[in-house]
Structure 1
Amino acid sequence: MKKMKTITGLSALLGMASSATAALTSGLVTYYDFEDLNNDASASGPNATIVGTDVAVGQTGGAVGNAATFAGTTNDRISTSVGFGSGNTLGESFTVAAWYKLDTDATSAASRFFVFEAENNFDLSYGLRNLDAGLADGQTYAGSTPNNLFTDVHTAGTWQHVLITYTANAGTTTVETYINGSALDSITATTSTISSTGIHIGNARSSSGTRAFDGMIDEFAAWNRVLDSSEISQVYQNGVNGQAVTAIPEPSVTTLIGLGGLSLILRRRR
């Protein structure tokens, strides 16, 4: 009986090691690792599409494996038909994340560089302002008015991570932005304004195609739910460790000690 209890305890610890991955695949609608344009098998969304001539996927030097590259060319982008808001795939409460690296000599017709934005509006939006103008800023929008300008949050030539959660509640949507795993300020918009039938990766909405990204984007993921704080940290840490969004995190020291101790007990009781 004691041996059976020990085995049960060992199984429980092993289960803990994989629970984070199970959580991160829950509600995962779209995950592009940009080794190609295919949606990862752990997600359920459609494949992506390249629009333009100066965009490529499967390029070396990504945050995790290979990545997509962009040259700041007007209207160039990667498009996905995954939408958000009432009646769309991601729903009204959702999460979007990506790794990005702006070139040190980045240029675009508008001197602004968008990691992603909604297809026909800026209800979902994260863009960077030109370092050559003495700026190192990121900016999010939601709806027609609310926006946040984050000063000195990005460094050209360096991989960085952005994750944004949208939480709908009682007629409003709260938008929270995380850069490199750290929470920045939030904004609130009217829920009815948060909607799009698609997302542009590497450029702004269709009417503002001069804001093309110049650099690399990797590990784009979107969930139809709001990730909690531990999941947000895990998504970021996986990338830091060069692992996919859905990778099983390495066990903590405490877990390893527990596994080692249980293993020793089992050996002694054979």
Structure 2
Amino acid sequence: MKKIILFASLAFSINAFAQVPSYVPNNGLVGYWPFTGNANDESGNSHNGTVNGATLTTDRFGNTSSAYNFTGTTNDITLANSQTLVNGSFTVSAWCTIDVLSPSNYDAVLIGQFNGQISNDRKWLFGYRSISSQRGISYYFCDNSGSFLSNAYTLNWLPQVSTWYHITWIFTSANSIETYVNGILHSTVSLTLRNFNNAASTILTKIGNGIDIGSFAQLPWNGKIDDVGIWNRVLTQQEIQNLYNANICYQNVTVTDTLVINTGITGFNPITYKNTIKVYPNPTNDHITIDNGNISNLTGYQIKITNSLSQQVFQSGITQQQFYVDLSTWTGNGIYFVHIIDAQGNTIDIKKIVLQ
């Protein structure tokens, strides 16, 4: 008699290995910090972070030790070898919460590259400003002349306290800055930088704090930060939307008779999903049923099952609500993997099943 036991991500979690997820663009990636228990750079470029006072906390999915909390004091994460991070056009992306919107004069840096002095090297700071009527996503630039040439904030954006947001800043070679909030273009502003290349050897890049270029006062972040990425190119809007919409498989779900696969996060606080796929029963002796839920939300999606040798034993487009899968045609006892693939060909979730 054949039996199949289905394990949720507690048995197989993509969080168990340290590598860049498939939805994170690799082209031009110079640093990626998922904060899964540490501040290491998983891009392979060795820009590992040194944690100074920030503490591990829950991420937007409720997973422990999967983001860092900054208390609005001297906390920061200093990145190694940061002079080589960017040169020319670049993109910065991060998930964050803003836990304090007062006092009225509040300026905070999520990430920045600076050396705390006016000198002939470039500096940039990205963060949030709440000063009198000036409330919005902020950025500050000095060029290689040492002149403080550009600072601004985006208008008409007042975030909810302690709510997760995905924010992206893009600096282009045409001297413009674009900001995105939750995958949507929020603003585009032209800058007047004369030269923005070649950071000085004394430059530092920090997450969670910065130095005011004029007053040298610290500008600490007060809230959580997670999944920080830096690219030495301009990301496309689709790539930014993929980062925002990605179903990061860090969900720890305990099940007794059904494997639950969530697709397409549509909101946070609490987390909501586009659809839920269920695979059952557990255990079984001759078949499994795959319930695809509301298939109108899964146009172009596919499901496939492979064995431990990556041989495919089942594949189908998700065009019907349920599949009945006969196990007698499978390749014997062992570990199998259920893959959910979106319309762009990205694998958005993988879960383990064991046939015995």
TM-score normalised over the length of structure 2: 0.54
- Equivalent of 1:113 in 97, 108, 116: 108
Shift of 1:205: 2.9
Secondary structure, aligned partner of 2:123: coil
* Count of equivalent residues: 228
Quick check: which has more Rg, 1 or 2?
A: 2
Report which stretch shifted further, 172-181 or 222-231.
172-181
More strand by share: 2
- Equivalent of 1:255 in 300, 313, 319: 300
Q: Corresponding residue for 1:34?
A: 35
Identical pairs, percent: 24
Give the gaps of 5 or more residues in structure 1.
1-19
- Residue 157 (structure 2) pairs with residue 161 (structure 1): no
Aligned pairs (5 A) from 1:17-96: 21=22, 24-51=25-52, 53=53, 55-56=54-55, 58-62=56-60, 65=63, 66-73=66-73, 75-81=74-80, 83=82, 88-96=84-92
More helix by share: 1
Aligned partners of 1:114 and 1:204 also within 8 Å: yes
Secondary structure, aligned partner of 2:229: strand
Q: Corresponding residue for 1:14?
A: none
Secondary structure, aligned partner of 2:42: coil
Instruction: Render the CA deviation track for 1:145-197: whole Å, top value 9, x for unaligned.
Output: 223321232422211121111222xxx53221112222212222325235544
Secondary structure, aligned partner of 2:175: strand
Aligned partners of 2:77 and 2:207 also within 8 Å: yes
Instruction: Render the CA deviation track for 1:188-219: whole Å, top value 9, x for unaligned.
Output: 23252355443211111386353111111111
Instruction: Render the CA deviation track for 1:232-266: whole Å, top value 9, x for unaligned.
Output: 1111222xx4558xxxx8697332377257xx9xx
Aligned partners of 2:48 and 2:79 also within 8 Å: yes
Secondary structure, aligned partner of 2:168: strand
Shift of 1:48: 0.3
Q: Corresponding residue for 2:126?
A: 126
Question: Which structure has the higher relative contact order (CA within 8 Å, separation 6+)?
Answer: 1
Aligned partners of 1:63 and 1:218 also within 8 Å: no
Q: 1:157 and 1:71 mapped to 2: Cα distance?
A: 13
Q: Corresponding residue for 1:149?
A: 153
Aligned partners of 2:141 and 2:150 also within 8 Å: yes
Change over 3 Å in CA distance of 1:134–1:141 after alignment to 2: closer
Give the gaps of 5 or more residues in structure 2.
1-20, 117-121, 143-147, 251-262, 265-274, 276-296, 303-315, 327-356
CA RMSD of superposed structures (Å):
3.5
